[in-house]
């Protein structure tokens, strides 16, 4: 990869200044930036942070001054679903991200080259860009006496992870497996699977959990590192707060039915057909932090609950062992009194106003039906 700045690279690709500024605005949205706050949080040079007072200008100045970021993407005990999900990112699109802002130098699924050629390139990047490259890990890591359960080129996943993590400028664990062990860690955890942050403890690891994770959470986090050279604010489980600060339940379009005590009892009863709350069918939305109900999937088309399936809690640690997926009452059911239901419905209306545009029609329909 060349040493051009991202802006210079874009100009060479024929991107106009106008479209460049549009791209910067899209990135601001993707990162969920608020006015001025990120400037204080960034580690941009003081003269840059002083001269840019709006997020779009700040992003533009950063992209004008920074080269593309090399990425090494390691896959261990995974199904490649997180890579597959990334290709569905809409803001920024993976094409824009991969071609213009990052340079994926090593990826076992996406790389055209293979074998010694890619291994050599990985080592070159680790040396030439020590302290600058982003390490993305997909899949859990078998450890200890079970380390041999996943090897690449004759070396264990644990060994390869530690080697690549040593010189990384940022480490991102994508998907529940890399973040918290995921399916391979499910009881009885035959491979001794662990998440990245249980093994790499001398530097922060950003967790983007989900099975798979929302692609915009991944690309938005990468965009934050590209623009600010730092990691976004994280919660206690190392998830970016921008995408994981609210529960699915907080923004669910079926929430008015929950507040009204209207629940589907089976997948084909009248309640299910009417779009009632899926809590009794095992929904883990009340205890699951993720952005599915707002960002949704496939360009905002839908998400599991909208499609009629309860949330499985796929962005939470140990979700495979958290009781039956379709077992109801898996989180405290606080059935409201009539008065509380009225107040809660009012909260629902206010929350609905700030929810994604696509939710609005369904939500008002749900409100109407819930009150009948
Ligand atoms: Fe909450 Fe799930 Fe019911 Fe939605 S379907 S309101 S997330 S319990
Ligand atoms: Fe996962 Fe629940 Fe979203 S199952 S995809 S966190 S709705």
pLDDT tens digits, 27-41: 777 676 654 444 444
Q: Are residue 294 and residue 236 in the same domain, yes or no?
A: no
Quote the CA–CA distance of 254 and 241 in Å, as a whole number. Answer: 23
Put residue 41 in one of left, alpha, beta given phi > 0 → left and psi -120 to 50 → alpha: alpha
Q: Are residue 107 and residue 231 in the same domain, yes or no?
A: yes
Does 124 map to a domain?
A: yes
Q: At 340, is the pLDDT very low, low, confident or very high (cuts 50, 70, 90)?
A: very low
Q: Are residue 197 and residue 338 in the same domain, yes or no?
A: no
Residues with CB under 6 A from ligand 1: 248-249, 252, 254-255, 258, 277-279, 283, 285-286, 305, 311
Q: Are residue 163 and residue 253 in the same domain, yes or no?
A: no
- Domain boundaries, position 170: 68-243
Which ligand places an atom closest to the C-alpha of 319?
2
Q: Return the percent helix, strand and coil in the chain, to nearest 5.
A: 45, 15, 40
Q: Are residue 239 and residue 300 in the same domain, yes or no?
A: no
Q: Which of the residue ranges 13-17, 215-219, 239-243 would you say has the lowest mean pLDDT?
A: 13-17
Does 30 map to a domain?
A: no
Quote the CA–CA distance of 39 and 78 in Å, as a whole number. Answer: 37
The residue from 221, 243, 265 where one domain ends is 243
Q: Which of the residue ranges 24-38, 275-289, 351-365 would you say has the lowest mean pLDDT?
A: 351-365
Q: At 364, is the pLDDT very low, low, confident or very high (cuts 50, 70, 90)?
A: low
Q: Are residue 171 and residue 264 in the same domain, yes or no?
A: no
β-strands 155-156, 151-152: how paired?
antiparallel
Q: Are residue 189 and residue 80 in the same domain, yes or no?
A: yes
137 within 8 A of 161, measured Cβ to Cβ:
yes
Ligand 2 centroid vs 313 CA: distance in angstroms? Answer: 6
Does 110 map to a domain?
A: yes
Pocket residue to mutate for ligand 1, from 275, 278, 287, most atoms within 8 A of Cβ: 278
The distance from CA 307 to its chain's CA centroid, rounded to whole angstroms, is: 20
Q: Which of the residue ranges 31-35, 329-333, 341-345, 357-361 would you say has the lowest mean pLDDT?
A: 341-345
CATH number at residue 265: 4.10.480.10
351 has a pLDDT exceeding 90: no
Q: What is the mean pLDDT of the chain?
A: 81
Could you check whether the bond before residue 92 is cis, i.e. omega within 30 degrees of 0?
Answer: yes
Does 93 map to a domain?
A: yes
Q: Are residue 91 and residue 234 in the same domain, yes or no?
A: yes
Provide mean pLDDT across the span 186-213.
Answer: 96
Q: Are residue 201 and residue 221 in the same domain, yes or no?
A: yes
pLDDT at 226: 82
Which ligand places an atom closest to the C-alpha of 243?
2
**What ligand 1 atom has the least distance to the C-alpha of 305?**
5
Q: At 336, is the pLDDT very low, low, confident or very high (cuts 50, 70, 90)?
A: very low
The residue from 220, 243, 266 where one domain ends is 243
**What ligand 1 atom has the least distance to the C-alpha of 255?**
6
Q: Are residue 216 and residue 95 in the same domain, yes or no?
A: yes
pLDDT at 366: 56
**What ligand 2 atom has the least distance to the C-alpha of 316?**
6
Quote the CA–CA distance of 23 and 36 in Å, as a whole number. Answer: 19
Contact partners, residue 36, CB within 8 Å, separation at least 6: 53, 54, 55
Nearest partner of 304 among 84, 246, 296, judged by Cα: 296
Provide mean pLDDT across the span 248-275.
Answer: 96
Q: Which residue has the higher pLDDT, 65 or 307?
A: 307
Q: Which of the residue ranges 94-103, 311-320, 350-359 would you say has the lowest mean pLDDT?
A: 350-359
The residue from 203, 219, 243 where one domain ends is 243
Q: What is the tens place of the pLDDT at every residue in 69-123?
A: 889 999 999 998 888 887 776 655 655 665 566 777 788 887 777 788 889 999 9
Does 57 map to a domain?
A: no
Q: Are residue 119 and residue 213 in the same domain, yes or no?
A: yes
Ligand 2 centroid vs 289 CA: distance in angstroms? Answer: 9
Q: What is the tens place of the pLDDT at every residue in 133-180?
A: 999 999 999 998 999 999 998 999 999 999 999 999 999 999 999 999
pLDDT at 346: 34
Give me the number of domains the chain comprises: 2
Does 32 map to a domain?
A: no
**Structure tokens that stand for 186 in this block:** 């499910």
Does 357 map to a domain?
A: yes
Pocket residue to mutate for ligand 1, from 246, 247, 248, 289, most atoms within 8 A of Cβ: 248
Quote the CA–CA distance of 13 and 11 in Å, as a whole number. Answer: 5
> In percent, how much of the chain has pLDDT > 70?
78
Burial letters 127-163, b for 16+ CB under 10 A, else e = eebeeebbbbbbbbbbbeebbebbeeeeebbbebbee
Q: At 359, is the pLDDT very low, low, confident or very high (cuts 50, 70, 90)?
A: very low
CATH number at residue 108: 3.40.50.700
pLDDT at 69: 85
pLDDT at 91: 57
Q: At 347, is the pLDDT very low, low, confident or very high (cuts 50, 70, 90)?
A: very low
pLDDT at 42: 52
Provide mean pLDDT across the span 246-259.
Answer: 96
Which range, 39-53, 168-182, 223-237, has the best average confidence (pLDDT)?
168-182
Q: At 230, is the pLDDT very low, low, confident or very high (cuts 50, 70, 90)?
A: confident
**What ligand 1 atom has the least distance to the C-alpha of 257?**
6
Provide mean pLDDT across the span 174-198.
Answer: 96
Quote the CA–CA distance of 73 and 171 in Å, as a whole number. Answer: 10
Ligand 1 centroid vs 359 CA: distance in angstroms? Answer: 14
Q: Are residue 226 and residue 268 in the same domain, yes or no?
A: no
Does 6 map to a domain?
A: no
Q: Which residue has the higher pLDDT, 207 or 100?
A: 207
């Amino acid at each position: 990869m060349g040493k051009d700045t991202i802006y210079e690279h874009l100009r060479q690709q024929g991107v106009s200044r106008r479209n460049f500024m549009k791209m910067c605005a899209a990135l601001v949205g993707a990162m969920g930036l608020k006015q001025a706050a990120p400037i204080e949080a960034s580690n941009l040079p003081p003269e840059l942070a002083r001269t840019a007072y709006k997020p779009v200008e700040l992003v533009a100045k950063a992209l004008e001054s920074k080269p593309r970021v090399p990425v090494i993407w390691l896959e261990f005990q995974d199904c490649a679903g997180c890579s597959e999900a990334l290709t569905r990112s809409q803001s920024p699109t993976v094409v824009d991200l991969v071609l213009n802002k990052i340079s994926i130098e090593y990826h076992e699924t996406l790389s055209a080259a293979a074998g010694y050629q890619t291994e050599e390139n990985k080592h070159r990047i680790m040396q030439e860009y020590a302290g600058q490259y982003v390490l993305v890990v997909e899949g859990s890591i078998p450890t200890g006496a079970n380390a041999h359960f996943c090897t690449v080129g004759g070396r264990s996943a644990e060994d390869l992870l530690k080697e690549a993590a040593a010189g990384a400028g940022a480490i991102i664990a994508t998907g529940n497996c890399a973040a918290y062990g995921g399916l391979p860690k499910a009881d009885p955890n035959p491979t001794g699977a662990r998440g990245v942050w249980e093994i790499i403890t001398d530097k922060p690891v950003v967790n983007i959990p989900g099975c798979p994770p929302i692609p915009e959470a991944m690309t938005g986090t990468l965009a934050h590192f590209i623009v600010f050279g730092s990691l976004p604010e994280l919660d206690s489980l190392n998830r970016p707060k921008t995408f994981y600060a609210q529960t699915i339940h907080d923004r669910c379009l079926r929430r008015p039915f929950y507040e009204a005590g209207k629940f589907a009892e089976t997948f084909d009863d009248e309640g299910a057909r009417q779009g009632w709350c899926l809590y009794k069918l095992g929904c883990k939305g009340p205890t699951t932090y993720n952005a599915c109900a707002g960002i949704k999937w496939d360009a905002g088309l839908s998400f599991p609950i909208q499609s009629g399936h309860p949330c499985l809690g796929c962005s939470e640690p140990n979700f495979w062992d958290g009781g039956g997926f379709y077992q109801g009452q898996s989180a405290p059911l606080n059935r409201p009194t009539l008065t509380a239901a009225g107040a809660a419905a009012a909260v629902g209306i206010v929350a609905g106003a700030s929810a994604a545009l696509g939710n609005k029609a369904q939500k008002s329909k749900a409100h109407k039906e819930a009150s009948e």
